[in-house]
Structure 1
Amino acid sequence: MRYEIRRSPVFAPRGVVATSQSLAAGAGLAVLRRGGNAIDAAIATAVALTVVQPGSNDIGGDLFALVWDGERLHGLNASGRSPALLTRDLALAGATSASDGLGGHQGDAELAMPTRGWLPVTVPGAPAGWRDLHARFGSLPFAELFADAIAYADEGYPVSPRVAEAWRVGAERVYPALAGAEFAEWGRVFTLGGRAPRAGERWRNPDAANTLRRIASTDGEDFYRGDIANAIVAHAERTGGLLRAGDLAGHESVWVDPISVSYRGHEVWEIPPNGQGIAALVALGVLDGYAEPSLHEQIEAMKLGFADAHAFVADPGAGGPVRGLLEPGYLAGRRGLIGQRAGRYGAGEPGRGGTVYLCTADSAGRMVSLIQSNYMGFGSYVVPPGTGFGLQDRGAGFVLAEGHPNAVGPGRRPYHTIIPAFLTRGGEPVGPFGVMGGHMQPQGHVQVVLSTVDGRLDPQAALDRPRWYWHRGLDVLVEPGLAAEVDGLRRRGHNVFVERDPGAFGMGQAIWRTAAGYTAGSEPRADGQVMGY
């Protein structure tokens, strides 16, 4: 396939940072140059992203990470739980029509969790995630990693183009439709006289700077048991929210064993549920049985991956059949369902057993794959007064169907769309990669792996390659670069649409280790870039 290469790959001998906003990439590079390691750089980049790309992530969001420590891979699940007061009856009372476009993981055919306001708010896990990553792997003092983020929040920065467009959508289309005291602070913090900042316009958030100072100086303690926690709880109690002091104080991250599947002599690694990374692994496990998987077969394999993920991904305590979904015999059976025509698939029967992405690498061979998010744009649009940050709406990932593993309830972690990934070959690291963008994320992972392993493309060329996106049912979107494939897919029964909005196809980053150091790519559909040294 011929297509336009939009950027050149970046080669760096010692260390590299790749993310979707250039100021955040610069914050990570500055840490590497000061002698910090890849984990320090990832934290600095992640914290800066909450300031410079607030319509995709914020201090009040969640985080997942994969860390290659130079010898092996570690996983961190820093996602939060639902409030202890959240019940199915309360969720049903605030439910909305199920038109979320998430490909069918909503278990109730008529109603879905709301996406704005207090009901979908879960405990933010990102601040604890930064702390826990640093406690285990960091080298520089924790507070030093916040310097650039605090400066941008205090002094301001020019808003980048893609961020400005997403901000405009939030300010013009979403926020005006929200009514209630819980939403008032969002307009004060995130608009300039009622409008979003324009591209190149300077924007400041001094309240966020103060919040970050408190997190930095207390190793995150203030967020969960101090003044920040008190501000969150006070706003909840005053405006009908369910979060209480015990929910925040009881939060903790969980170190997990990453899960993987083999593809052409490589191992693709993901975080286990409650993330949806297993959808990508199922799809790749199915595709590994084809000599050269066609575009039709790729799409069908992805549908099978989502069918299983939507049925089984839930709070880790629900005991989903993670290993069973990745067994070769099970994957072979799923592969056998793919025919010559586009299909609709239910879950199998295995044996029981708004987002930002970044990756970093350092001179000692340590590498990080990290993703954090509000979920849908600015999340819940609930901003505790005086804090400068919004709370995520991750609870929208729950389903309302009684008895479903991912059913809404108290103290549960919901289905998460955000997933970091990592590639190895024969147990040796190739590098971190990820594609942010809700339902697109596993699909982006599959396409990056196919481009890298089958296509033998460098990371930038793999990210530049035109993408497809399975929406739901038989509906598939393709970028203009895949227009030549449209007729063939339609003959097989797919409803194919050429989509020119690059935002529909996710935004990724990738770093591969080489004999000379690293080569890296950054999403041409975003404002970010690779910075190395």
Structure 2
Amino acid sequence: MNQDYLHNPYPSQRMTTFAKKGMVATSQPLAAQAGLDILKKGGNAVDAAIATAACLTVVEPTSNGIGGDAFALVWMKGKLHGLNASGPSPKSISIEGLKEKGMEEIPKFGWTPVTVPGAPSAWATLSERFGNLPLTEVLAPAIEYAENGYPVSPTLGKFWKSAADHFKKALTTDEFKHWFDTFAPEGKAPEIGEVWRSEGHAATLREIAETKAESFYRGKIADQIDAFSRKYDGFIRKEDLADYEPEWVDPIGVDYRGYKVWEIPPNGQGIIALMALNILKGYEFTSREDADTFHKQIEAMKLSFTDGLHYVTEGRKMERSVQGLLSDTYAEERRKLIGEQALQPEPGEPPKGGTVYLATADGEGNMVSFIQSNYMGFGSGLVVPGTGIALQNRGHNFSMDPDHDNRLEGGKKTFHTIIPGFLTKGDQAVGPFGVMGGFMQPQGHLQVAMNTIDFHLNPQAALDAPRWQWMEDKKVLVEPNFPNHIAQALARKGHHIQVALDGGPFGRGQIIWHDPETGVLAGGTESRTDGSVAAW
């Protein structure tokens, strides 16, 4: 890509990491090292991804857990595979039933937003199809950290304390007691540098490893989830877990300036990044540090996000086709709406028809883009007693409007925020990339992809570059180091620019690029968190 790997114009001043035999990039050094250790034991990129993902449930519980969902893009032996391991709502839930209980919207916490967790199935399924090592060996590092403990890192400690302080006020009834027993055992979050452990978490990971996740969906762990749900009048039942299987899917992609940018198809929001890139490929950009560049990026993302929030839900229940949303004809229609001033977005009419991210690569050219989450930090606030399983609250994204495409229905997958990305050129893999962080994710994907392809930034600089996030209407957040003169120019174009002085929700990303001629791997990690690239 003709990148200047020695130059990083942004404040972190981290350098791109190079290696040849293997690489793991993620938001926690201990998890990255766990994945690298698995590579050194003869595991491949998939084994490393599973080890890292399982380890992240222990060493970054503020963003993900055993009770969350996962997605993966896997480049294996020259082909890209997609895995959707997001779970559906319980079969017994309905809009009518919730309204009878007096609910007009789906709450963030408690049993109502809990959906079937898909992450354990992702680990087992990936291991079974592509792994070199047994799952018991791959999950061993995570089990060790859960059993014997680890010292809490700085960014983790900050978010853990914030969650605990909020939960003390918000989660006061009996069903939430087990969260505090697990994650605030002495009445507070562990301090930075303090050792935290969870024997229940270790026992659950061990059982998942030994049964290849069968226990979680059809055995002892499923019984524990079912009993906890019944005790507090929850909706999820063992039958919901037993009926669940992750889905192998065909990745979707768009051509962008000689590259192909890939995402998982809906119910994920990756299509939003692709729609925006499809609009933007109709322009020529000569400089990243230009108000017109940012203006067009924001407008394209605004239009695409508005469509995504309106139309995206479980793929088989979408009333507009993926092909229609990604068609060049529709992109041209949306592009015509972009002028010199910020617009108020409305959905178009296409043709009918807290998260962790990690990237791994091995010395054989195999690579994995993997993401998992409990959503909104710790998720629902519910922890299955004695197991360490923090249950996700992904159902909060459903609409209670019976006419909305993403309306709540029993046994349905909701619009999903977590998305892995992948880049190819011709028939060669360039590599995995991703930016975690709720609705920032497709916006981060767009910015990282353009930083790489349009502006020729190396992996570390592509991640370190100041970010923006469209929020709603004409409101746009920018980072404190976002150029002030550009922010002012955007304001003159009608954007409502706000500087996020507290750091803001700008996501946390990882990149690994692969040179097919030399086999050299080039990795970047997130300067906005405790990011790490472990390389061999």
> How high is the TM-score relative to the length of structure 2?
0.95
Residues 84 and 246, structure 2, Cα contact 8 Å, conserved in 1:
yes
Cα displacement (A) at 1:113: 1.7
1:382-426 C-alpha deviation (Å, 9 max, x unpaired): 111111121000001101111212100100001100000001112
Q: Secondary structure at the match of 1:504?
A: coil
**Cross-structure match for 1:30:** 37
**Cross-structure match for 1:498:** 499
Q: Secondary structure at the match of 2:477?
A: strand
2:301 pairs with 1:302: yes
Residues 6 and 524, structure 1, Cα contact 8 Å, conserved in 2:
no
Cα distance in 2 for residues equivalent to 1:175 and 1:86: 28
Cα displacement (A) at 1:5: 4.3
Cα distance in 1 for residues equivalent to 2:424 and 2:98: 42
**Which 4+ stretches in 1 moved above 2 angstroms?**
1-6, 89-96, 500-503
Residues 230 and 245, structure 1, Cα contact 8 Å, conserved in 2:
yes
**Cross-structure match for 1:390:** 390
**Cross-structure match for 1:56:** 63
1:90-112 C-alpha deviation (Å, 9 max, x unpaired): 3346687xxxxxxxxxxxxxx53
**Cross-structure match for 2:531:** 528
Cα distance in 1 for residues equivalent to 2:238 and 2:84: 21
Cα displacement (A) at 1:501: 3.0
Cα distance in 2 for residues equivalent to 1:92 and 1:441: 32
**Cross-structure match for 1:159:** 152
> How high is the TM-score relative to the length of structure 1?
0.95
Cα displacement (A) at 1:294: 1.1
Residues 55 and 378, structure 1, Cα contact 8 Å, conserved in 2:
yes
Residues 18 and 358, structure 1, Cα contact 8 Å, conserved in 2:
yes
Equivalent position to 1:224, from 198, 217, 221: 217
2:418 pairs with 1:425: no
The residue identity in structure 2 corresponding to 1:250 is D
The residue identity in structure 1 corresponding to 2:211 is T
Cα displacement (A) at 1:500: 2.9
- For structure 1, list consecutive stretches of 5 or more residues without a partner in the other structure: 97-110
Change (3 A) 1:194 1:143: same
Cα distance in 1 for residues equivalent to 2:487 and 2:211: 55
Q: Bigger CA drift: 495-504 or 47-56? A: 495-504
Task: Name the count of aligned residue pairs.
Answer: 519
Cα distance in 1 for residues equivalent to 2:476 and 2:100: 33
Cα displacement (A) at 1:179: 2.8
**Cross-structure match for 2:521:** 518
**Cross-structure match for 2:47:** 40
Residues 363 and 519, structure 2, Cα contact 8 Å, conserved in 1:
no
Cα displacement (A) at 1:123: 0.4
Q: Secondary structure at the match of 1:439?
A: helix
Cα displacement (A) at 1:344: 1.5
The residue identity in structure 2 corresponding to 1:280 is A
**Cross-structure match for 1:237:** 230
**Cross-structure match for 2:451:** 451
Q: Bigger CA drift: 24-33 or 318-327? A: 318-327
Cα displacement (A) at 1:315: 1.2
Q: What's the % identity of the aligned pairs?
A: 52
Q: Secondary structure at the match of 1:149?
A: helix
**Cross-structure match for 1:202:** 195
2:77 pairs with 1:76: no
**CA RMSD of superposed structures (Å):** 1.3
Cα distance in 2 for residues equivalent to 1:301 and 1:462: 20
**Cross-structure match for 2:5:** none
- For structure 2, list consecutive stretches of 5 or more residues without a partner in the other structure: 1-7, 286-291
Cα displacement (A) at 1:502: 3.0
Change (3 A) 1:470 1:53: same
Mapping of residues 5-24 of structure 1, within 5 Å: 5-24=12-31
**Cross-structure match for 2:72:** 65
Mapping of residues 166-177 of structure 1, within 5 Å: 166-177=159-170
Cα distance in 1 for residues equivalent to 2:33 and 2:126: 20
Mapping of residues 124-139 of structure 1, within 5 Å: 124-139=117-132
The residue identity in structure 2 corresponding to 1:491 is R
